[in-house]
Structure 1
Amino acid sequence: MATTTFSKLVVFAALVFVGQAALITKPEGPTIRTRHGDVRGMYAEEGAIFLGLPFGNPPVGELRWKPPRAYNKSWAPEVRDGTVPGPACRQPGCGPNKIDYRHTCNRDKNRTQSEDCLYLNVFVPRSVLLNSSLRLPVICWFHGGHYMYGTGSAMVYDGRILANKTNTVVVTTNYRLGVFGYLVTGEGEDDARGNYGTLDQIETLKWVQQNIADFGGAKDKVTVFGQSAGSDSISVLLTTDKTTDLFHQAIMLSVPFSITHKTQLEAIRVGNDVAKSVNCSAGDMKCLRSKPADDLIVAQNEAGKYIANPFKPLELFMQWGPTVDGDILPRQTVDSFANGKIQKKPFIIGNVREEAVLYIYEAFSKPMSKLELDGIMLAFLHGKGPVALHEYNPPKASDYRPFLSHFATDWVFQCPTRNVIRNAVVNGENDVWLYVFDHVVSIKSIWHHKAYCQDHVCHGEDIPFVFQTPLLLNLSFTREEQVIADTMAYHYGNFAHTGDPNKASPNVYTTGNVLKSPLDWPRYNKRNLFPNMNFTTPQSVIVKDYNKEKCDFWDKENIYSARNKGK
């Protein structure tokens, strides 16, 4: 930390350790010298925070729907203010008057959004403040949100506690969303070709390689970490040759592998709908670039009501996202894993127990009859609907949404995840681990706006435990929940340091009144009887061959492969 005196850091750290920081005036925020100039962040009890660092030039005007260009300007001799987040990327909702129960909007008071949004944040643990020569592993987080919502600057993804407990440097980032990140209009030179949000993620990883040493990070030990669309992004990054040297291992939470990515033709159909909605001719990029962002978001929402391919109705749950272009995304990710066409890198992957409850109850607000269930099965599974219904044999009920939630969790999340990790093993990747998160969070306000997730382990339920951010929001875990959170920090921290969640690193920290997990988390393979870490209360356990019967059924039907949909 080139321009911060070591003695000042030691004094501040000592004050924090004895709990007296609130009683005196804190020293000036830490200052880092970067290739672009100095940036001043802010101290936290857990270390230091640097917000709103640009990694790409603003993708506006003629750069709208262009690959990101690395930020290359100097702000010297000025010192950049690293205490303010950059704007979130443009998205529906998250206005200044929205009640943000889950804290997924931008953390600034005005919930600022802009097309000028290529900014990231760095969270430095306390250890770096005490030893500026350290080079710690890096965790780079990609947020979820259907590729339409979210920001790396949301409070729920504040990385200070994760950084301190894992003793890593944590980076959280934005990437272009929805129509701005994934519009496809054609294959001409000036056409929107899609995958811009994915290219933004790749540009973030390039920034890490070039700059993270200034913040105490090791560029040769980078773990990419994400949830939902963020972890789907990581599955894409594992299947492209554009990122071979940019990261070294991965943690993927809740990848919806059964929701396939659009082909170029399918994406162009959606792009034509967007153009029509804003009164532009198909492929008229000059016209499209002239349109205000608000108009494009309205068009994005309208286009989201239609299905580009009637044989793939699951796309309604993820209308925007990476397109199979033969370059950034060579083929469907499930097929890449099946064919061994992935980077051979260690990874952890898994799900929460009731992933689909959130999606089913959002889509179907009223009780579902058996006739409606049969129609849904036919619409989504076509000729394989009857055999799937026979396999699951739903009991008579007044509302079939609970049954469909269980069914869809297996079909969309858990069983394709098992399929993917088994194929990775078959194709020679031995350093892989599987988990399921199985705990209903006690903090009811998290699901205040979605009552149907109360008392269920819904999609995203593990995020507060990964980051432990409720502790920053005047909320608290039960003692058993703190054990889960610290168990996760222990295993994920070990993985970031050593490539093995069990190989203890002396630098991984957990709170003094909570024991580190005594569990060995075996690699996922047949020799170990296909073990699964079950993060749960009162204590996590290892389960062998989790959900075997139903996942064997889905593997036999191979319904999540793009080659078999609709058959």
Structure 2
Amino acid sequence: MATTTFFQLLGFAAHVFVGALPTKPDGPIVRTRYGAVQGMYAEEGAIFLGLPFGVPPVGELRWKPPRAYNTSWAPGVRDGTVPGPACRQPGCGPTDSDYQHVCNRDKARTQSEDCLYLNVFVPRSVLNSTIRLPVMCFFHGGSYRHGTASAILYDGRILANKTSTIVVTTNYRVGAFGFLVTGEGEGDARGNYGTLDQIEALKWVQQNIADFGGDKDKVTIFGQSSGSDSVAVLLTSDRAAHLFHQGIMLSVPFSISHKTKFEAVRFGTDFVKLANCSTGDMKCLRSKSADEILHAQDEVESYIANPFHLLQRFMQWGPTVDGDVLPRQTLDSFAKGKFQRKPFIIGTVSQEAFLYIYQAFSNPVSKVELYEAALAFLRGKGPAVLHEYNPPQASDYRPFLSHAVTDWVFECPTRNAIRDAVTSGEDDVWLYVFDHVWSFKTFWHDFTYCQGRVCHSEDVPFVFQTPLLMNLSFTPDEQVLADAMVYHYGNFAHTGDPNKSSLYVYTTDNIVKSALNWPRYNKGNQFPNMNFTTPRSIMVHDYNKDKCDFWDKEDIYSGID
């Protein structure tokens, strides 16, 4: 790998950054179509925070599709060292605990409806002054209700430097602000605004990333949890087809169905009542303060739009199946071959559902309660599932339930989606499972039941390697694991193949010794699954076959119809 000295970085800055504008010693300056923006140097490269990609969606623009940012800030130089506000959401206030560093990085943890901002991370290591770098654009998780691109957890500087890519992290409207549906009339809120924000951010990348040294024709989108669900949505939406070239999906909760128009309107009607407005009165809704909207959002969380789709209770907000932005349930799109033929990597962590089950059930679950839950969520399929999993005698069935729900919601529908993709002719796909319990226990401070388990989101700190920015450290084995993941994802961003080595992706002797060949997922390769773990990752074949064969046979994904 070719690395540069600081003086070589300045040489690169002369090409990628401003040219004629005087560069201040405390940060690089980039000339954009909107004017010059000054970022900051970091050991790993350069960082530009709080770049607007959309007109503030406030006032009459609340619950309207995003409009592209089009205002010049010249002749002044924009301050790119300050993050934009997080989108309005519950929690993450200045006094709230943030052990996982998922709140906005500024001291005040600023939130606002004016939140359509993104961040750009430029690596220290560069190819040369003429070749553009691939782009990796990240969508954060948070159940479409929480999250911000400017969380320290998602800081892209280390990932950018080790992959020699331009990393972009972006906000999008969440909760009621991003996904409320009140009806189908001309003035109604139609939903999917958060998804349209993501699409607008990708348009910004197409139009502006070259100013930062990026290649608009080599864009990888990736995300985790609802952020990875967003990637799946964009892979099945014609609206985004021309804006990216491949994807990485970390922990898609495929079996939590997206609301239909009927379900979304019914849920939105309840929300409107709780906001003390009349159905169809958008003027009343837009007159409400953001705090009043959040209060109604909190109140409606316990409502059930469809008793036959109880899993939606775990992700009340999100894209609606509208036949346009989201044409159908994502699993249905994969099954019907109605998705973009683009390379993708997809996977899960080994104990995804423990976090959700223990949040839902604060006390031990009895066998009677287990059977009640199975019948409530699975109805006529409940007895078959209980027979397949054959619950043993126990004083608390939460661990048992967590294992079964991990299979149902995450692992097996993920296998189902990738197999459907292969059947439809997309050969460039790879499957993984992350199976390592992290050593930095402070992350699970408020969630003691995840201590010693591989809970939902445990792979994220390894992708971004951001514990190093939080005065935490990886064990030597964890550092090898993190670098091996970056090696594969970086190769994928550069070449479309996690195995096809790029000279510019970070590597060490440990990675050379530990990085496995990761075969494409297909029957001829015996359905390989990369098991990211310590002390060394291993390759397994037909992972969790018996249980996933069962779920495929019962066909209980994306709700029960």
Give the TM-score of the pair, scaled to structure 2: 0.96
User: Which residue is 1:18 aligned to?
Assistant: none
Output the CA distance in 2 between the equivalents of 1:181 and 1:11. Answer: 39
Give yes or no for the alignment of 1:532 onto 2:529: yes
Residues 9 and 124 in structure 2, CA contact (< 8 A), matched pair in contact too? no
Output the CA distance in 1 between the equivalents of 2:46 and 2:515. Answer: 31
User: Which residue is 1:453 aligned to?
Assistant: 450
Output the CA distance in 2 between the equivalents of 1:389 and 1:305. Answer: 27
Equivalent in 408, 411, 416 of residue 411 of structure 1: 408
Give yes or no for the alignment of 1:291 onto 2:288: yes
Give yes or no for the alignment of 1:324 onto 2:321: yes
Alignment CA distance shift 1:514-1:27 (3 Å): farther
User: Which residue is 1:161 aligned to?
Assistant: 158
User: What's the CA shift for 1:10?
Assistant: 3.0
Output the CA distance in 2 between the equivalents of 1:28 and 1:506. Answer: 30
Residues 360 and 404 in structure 1, CA contact (< 8 A), matched pair in contact too? yes
Equivalent in 159, 181, 187 of residue 184 of structure 1: 181
Equivalent in 339, 352, 357 of residue 354 of structure 2: 357
Alignment CA distance shift 1:476-1:331 (3 Å): same
Output the CA distance in 1 between the equivalents of 2:269 and 2:9. Answer: 60
User: Which residue is 2:94 aligned to?
Assistant: 96
User: Which residue is 2:434 aligned to?
Assistant: 437
- Which stretches in structure 1 are left out of the alignment for 5+ residues? 1-5, 15-25
User: What's the CA shift for 1:515?
Assistant: 4.1
User: Which residue is 1:209 aligned to?
Assistant: 206
User: Which residue is 2:520 aligned to?
Assistant: 523
User: What's the CA shift for 1:134?
Assistant: 3.3
User: What's the CA shift for 1:168?
Assistant: 0.3
User: What's the CA shift for 1:242?
Assistant: 0.7
User: What number of residue pairs does the alignment pair up?
Assistant: 547
User: Which residue is 1:73 aligned to?
Assistant: 71
User: Which residue is 1:472 aligned to?
Assistant: 469
User: Which residue is 1:58 aligned to?
Assistant: 56
Provide the secondary structure at the position in 1 that maps to 2:125. helix
Equivalent in 355, 367, 372 of residue 369 of structure 2: 372
Provide the secondary structure at the position in 2 that maps to 1:122. strand
Alignment CA distance shift 1:110-1:132 (3 Å): farther
Residues 486 and 516 in structure 1, CA contact (< 8 A), matched pair in contact too? no
Provide the secondary structure at the position in 1 that maps to 2:524. coil
Deviations 1:261-307 (A, max 9, x none): 00111111111111111211012100000000001101011111011
Deviations 1:477-505 (A, max 9, x none): 00000011000000000000000000000
Residues 480 and 510 in structure 2, CA contact (< 8 A), matched pair in contact too? no
Residues 280 and 288 in structure 1, CA contact (< 8 A), matched pair in contact too? yes
Provide the secondary structure at the position in 1 that maps to 2:158. helix
Alignment CA distance shift 1:240-1:57 (3 Å): same
User: Which residue is 2:114 aligned to?
Assistant: 116
Deviations 1:173-232 (A, max 9, x none): 000000000000011111100000000000000000000000010000000000000000
Alignment CA distance shift 1:13-1:480 (3 Å): farther
User: Which residue is 2:553 aligned to?
Assistant: 556
Equivalent in 138, 141, 148 of residue 141 of structure 1: 138
Provide the secondary structure at the position in 1 that maps to 2:302. coil
User: Which residue is 2:20 aligned to?
Assistant: none
Give, as a single letter, the amino acid of the residue that structure 2 aligns with 1:83.
T
Provide the secondary structure at the position in 1 that maps to 2:247. strand
Residues 498 and 518 in structure 2, CA contact (< 8 A), matched pair in contact too? yes
Residues 53 and 119 in structure 1, CA contact (< 8 A), matched pair in contact too? yes
Give yes or no for the alignment of 1:243 onto 2:240: yes
Output the CA distance in 1 between the equivalents of 2:308 and 2:299. Answer: 20
Provide the secondary structure at the position in 1 that maps to 2:462. helix
Alignment CA distance shift 1:516-1:205 (3 Å): farther
User: What's the CA shift for 1:244?
Assistant: 1.2
Alignment CA distance shift 1:516-1:75 (3 Å): farther
Give, as a single letter, the amino acid of the residue that structure 2 aligns with 1:416.
P
Deviations 1:27-65 (A, max 9, x none): 230000000000000000000000000000000000000
Output the CA distance in 2 between the equivalents of 1:548 and 1:294. Answer: 47
Output the CA distance in 2 between the equivalents of 1:178 and 1:463. Answer: 22
Output the CA distance in 2 between the equivalents of 1:511 and 1:79. Answer: 39
Give the TM-score of the pair, scaled to structure 1: 0.95
Provide the secondary structure at the position in 2 that maps to 1:138. strand
Alignment CA distance shift 1:47-1:11 (3 Å): closer
Alignment CA distance shift 1:372-1:492 (3 Å): same
Residues 162 and 468 in structure 1, CA contact (< 8 A), matched pair in contact too? yes
Residues 50 and 83 in structure 1, CA contact (< 8 A), matched pair in contact too? yes
Output the CA distance in 2 between the equivalents of 1:537 and 1:52. Answer: 36
Output the CA distance in 2 between the equivalents of 1:462 and 1:253. Answer: 8
Provide the secondary structure at the position in 2 that maps to 1:133. coil
Residues 431 and 530 in structure 2, CA contact (< 8 A), matched pair in contact too? yes
Give yes or no for the alignment of 1:344 onto 2:331: no
Output the CA distance in 1 between the equivalents of 2:514 and 2:46. Answer: 27
Equivalent in 35, 42, 45 of residue 44 of structure 1: 42
Residues 145 and 174 in structure 2, CA contact (< 8 A), matched pair in contact too? yes
Alignment CA distance shift 1:77-1:298 (3 Å): same
User: What's the CA shift for 1:81?
Assistant: 0.2
Output the CA distance in 2 between the equivalents of 1:50 and 1:551. Answer: 44
Residues 490 and 517 in structure 1, CA contact (< 8 A), matched pair in contact too? no
User: What's the CA shift for 1:518?
Assistant: 3.5
User: Which residue is 1:3 aligned to?
Assistant: none
Report % sequence identity: 74
Give, as a single letter, the amino acid of the residue that structure 1 aligns with 2:465.
Q
Alignment CA distance shift 1:516-1:220 (3 Å): farther
Output the CA distance in 1 between the equivalents of 2:155 and 2:545. Answer: 36
Output the CA distance in 1 between the equivalents of 2:368 and 2:444. Answer: 30
Residues 88 and 113 in structure 1, CA contact (< 8 A), matched pair in contact too? yes
Output the CA distance in 2 between the equivalents of 1:468 and 1:278. Answer: 41
Residues 183 and 267 in structure 1, CA contact (< 8 A), matched pair in contact too? yes
User: What's the CA shift for 1:140?
Assistant: 0.1
- Which stretches in structure 2 are left out of the alignment for 5+ residues? 13-23
Residues 153 and 466 in structure 2, CA contact (< 8 A), matched pair in contact too? yes
Equivalent in 270, 274, 299 of residue 273 of structure 1: 270
